[in-house]
Amino acid sequence: MPWYAVDHITIEERSHLHEATKTLLTLLMDRIEKDHESTTLTSMLLKRVWRAALKCPGFTPTMKDNIVYICGLDEQTAVEYGLPPYADNWKDLWTIGPKPGVQRDVLQVRS
């Protein structure tokens, strides 16, 4: 997707891409678990896919939080990839996220 031209990407397209990514991750995790002998479907590939998903500028904080949950990643990893605290509370924000590099203590605090 041309994330540099976000004004040409609809919310629906972004949602479809996110659903496809979640499905891909789920299938990949299942195949890795069942087929330990595979030389192509490895945990390294899985790590590359979830890293790409967490770096995707088109995914909202909630979408990225879903990726973290599906892959069973810890909070420290989520923080390293720029996920804001309490990203699950950002569910109503479909097109924005925190400015890259903003300090975590400036963002929403759960009450």
pLDDT: is 86 or 57 the higher one? 57
Predicted local distance difference test score (pLDDT) of residue 46: 93
- Measure CA of the first residue to CA of the last residue in the chain; give whole Å: 36
pLDDT digits (tens, 9 = 90+) for 33-69: 888 777 788 899 999 999 999 988 888 888 888 999 9
Question: Range of 59's domain?
Answer: 3-106
CA distance 101 to 109: 17
Whether residue 27 lies inside any domain: the answer is yes
Above 50 in pLDDT, residue 97?
A: yes
Please give the tally of structural domains in the chain: 1
Whether residue 82 lies inside any domain: the answer is yes
CA distance 101 to 97: 11
Whether residue 29 lies inside any domain: the answer is yes
Whether residue 85 lies inside any domain: the answer is yes
Best CA proximity match to 70, nearest among 93, 46, 91, 94? 46
Whether residue 111 lies inside any domain: the answer is no
Whether residue 97 lies inside any domain: the answer is yes
Token pair of 54 as six digits: 């967490």
pTM of the model: 0.76
Token pair of 66 as six digits: 């879903």
Whether residue 23 lies inside any domain: the answer is yes
Predicted local distance difference test score (pLDDT) of residue 58: 81
Predicted local distance difference test score (pLDDT) of residue 69: 92
